[in-house]
């Protein structure tokens, strides 16, 4: 879901920056309280893993990219706020160091992938726990990709309506919802399967070496 | 202070660029970025094209084909505007990151700087582990490993890699504690 500069209008990225600023200040304060000498380097490991997973991305004609994210893994291991802050940093570092995803699209991507994705994973995991641990982990991974992708499709698809020139032609992303909803969501339905499997495998591997996910209703 | 001002000026430029739609102005701005890059202009231009080229080309070709099919014409102004804005801003980002000292720019937020440093360190370690693994696979296979072999190898080694990365993380935690990064109670 990396979107380069020039595809989102200022109406979108300025609004996202304003909303994001409030959430980042809350998130950073929570993370500062939560992370200690043991947790911080471990958060670093999983964030570095998310960085690598998100770098392997494939562009799709509907106006975005498909890639794994490791968002559910971070959210279920360290909590939604930590995942949000870490994914925001990953997106910022990818934009700055490699030019992957534009700096103007970082706030939108951070809100969708980091905030919505992380809290979707936490909520779905809690909802599906009764169906079994693996089902809950898989569901958390799948929804953590598909829900942000659907919202990104809406954001992109609204660009021709919210940012058009005086002649009615698009100034930024050119395709409407009729194209983006299909083009962005369908590939992510498949990527979500991979993300779900990855979440199950990685959480189980972490448990084997003694790193337990945060309890439901526990650390934020 | 200078580095923070650079970052603020860069952010203001990035936000302001969304209000400029004239392809000539965007082309001139991209030219200014390359001039400011000096000797690094070629490298930054190449990196910017590699970073956004595939994505922008995909959307541009899709939009051009869509316009041709629907209206029998291609919206060249949109193509120029979007390509120039994407290239110019990406080149500017790469230039600013090359010139600004992140430690000084983020100095007012030590917690965030600590997290960025740890993530950066873990990325280096992960890169080294993956390189070791790649070299190990190459030394054990006669020919270049095909995708299936590489995937099997990655799957079997994933848990081991994660374990090693977490072990390294614990070592880093001990080293940081020994250097007073945390003021432990008790």
A206 — contact with chain B (CB < 8 Å)? yes
Query: Does A2 reside within a domain?
Result: no
Residue of B nearest to A16 (CA): B15
Residue of A nearest to B175 (CA): A37
Look up the domain containing A148 and give its range: 10-217
Four-CA torsion B96, B101, B106, B107, nearest 10 degrees: -150
Query: Does A3 reside within a domain?
Result: no
- What's the pLDDT score for residue A206? 84
Higher-pLDDT residue of B162 and A162 is A162
Beta strands A58-60 and A64-66 are: antiparallel
Q: Which two tokens stand for residue A208?
A: 């084997």
B181 to chain A nearest CA, in Å?
8
Q: What is the pLDDT of residues B108-146, one digit of tens each?
A: 777 777 777 777 877 887 778 778 877 887 787 777 777
Q: Where residue A70 sits, what CATH number does that domain have?
A: 1.10.1760.20
C-alpha distances in Å from residue A118, one per residue of A20, A65, A71: 14, 19, 6
Query: Does A1 reside within a domain?
Result: no
B172 — contact with chain A (CB < 8 Å)? yes
B15:A49 CB<8 A: no
- pLDDT band (50, 70, 90) for residue B48: very high
Domain boundaries defined on chain B: 2-104, 109-178
CA A116 to chain centre: 7
What is the ipTM for the molecules in this complex?
A: 0.81
Residue of A nearest to B82 (CA): A6
Q: How many domains does chain A have?
A: 1
B176:A37 CB<8 A: yes
Query: Does A88 reside within a domain?
Result: yes
B89:A65 CB<8 A: no
B:33-62 residues touching chain A, CB 8 A cutoff: 47-48, 50-52, 54-56, 58-59, 61-62
B:146-165 residues touching chain A, CB 8 A cutoff: 158-159, 162-163, 165
- pLDDT band (50, 70, 90) for residue B105: confident
Residue of A nearest to B55 (CA): A59
- The answer to whether the beta carbons of residues A141 and A200 sit under 8 Å apart is yes
CA dist A55 and B164 (Å) reads 22
- Give B-chain residues touching A176 at CB under 8 angstroms: none
A132 — contact with chain B (CB < 8 Å)? no
CA dist A174 and A75 (Å) reads 33
Average pLDDT across each block of 10 residues of chain A; the chain has 220 residues. List them in order: 87 94 91 79 84 78 74 92 92 86 92 96 95 95 95 94 86 90 89 91 84 55
């Amino acid at each position: 879901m990396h979107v380069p500069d020039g595809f989102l209008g200022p109406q979108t990225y300025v609004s996202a920056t304003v909303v994001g600023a409030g959430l980042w200040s809350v998130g950073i304060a929570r993370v500062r309280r939560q992370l200690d000498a043991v947790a911080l380097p471990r958060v670093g490991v999983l964030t570095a893993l998310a960085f690598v997973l998100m770098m392997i991305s494939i562009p799709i004609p509907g106006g975005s990219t498909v890639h794994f994210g490791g968002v559910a893994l971070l959210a279920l291991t360290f909590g939604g706020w930590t995942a949000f802050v870490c994914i925001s940093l990953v997106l910022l570092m990818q934009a700055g160091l490699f030019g992957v995803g534009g700096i103007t699209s970082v706030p939108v991507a951070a809100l969708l992938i980091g905030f919505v994705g992380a809290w979707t994973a936490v909520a779905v995991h809690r909802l599906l726990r009764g169906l079994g641990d693996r089902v809950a982990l898989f569901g958390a991974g799948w929804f953590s990709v598909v829900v942000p992708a659907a919202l990104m499709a809406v954001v992109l698809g609204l660009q021709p309506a919210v940012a058009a020139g005086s002649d009615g032609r698009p100034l930024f992303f050119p395709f409407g919802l009729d194209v983006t909803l299909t083009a962005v969501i369908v590939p992510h339905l498949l990527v979500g399967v991979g993300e779900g499997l990855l979440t199950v495998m990685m959480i189980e591997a972490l448990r084997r070496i003694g790193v337990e996910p945060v309890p439901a209703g526990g650390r934020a | 202070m200078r580095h923070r001002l650079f970052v603020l000026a860069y952010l203001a430029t990035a936000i302001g660029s969304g209000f400029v739609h004239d392809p000539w102005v965007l082309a001139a701005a991209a030219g200014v970025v390359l001039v400011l890059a000096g000797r690094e202009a070629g490298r930054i231009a190449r990196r910017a094209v590699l970073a956004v080229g595939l994505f922008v080309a995909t959307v541009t070709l899709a939009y051009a084909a869509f316009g041709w099919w629907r209206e029998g014409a291609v919206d060249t102004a949109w193509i120029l505007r979007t390509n120039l804005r994407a290239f110019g801003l990406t080149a500017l980002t790469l230039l600013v990151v090359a010139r600004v000292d992140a430690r000084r720019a983020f100095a007012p937020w030590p917690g965030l700087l600590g997290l960025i440093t740890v993530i950066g360190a873990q990325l280096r370690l992960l890169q080294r582990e993956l390189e070791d693994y790649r070299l190990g696979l190459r030394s054990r296979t006669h020919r270049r490993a095909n995708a299936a072999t590489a995937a099997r190898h990655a799957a079997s080694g994933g848990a081991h890699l994660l374990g090693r990365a977490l072990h390294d993380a614990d070592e880093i935690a001990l080293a940081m504690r020994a250097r007073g990064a945390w003021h432990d109670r008790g």
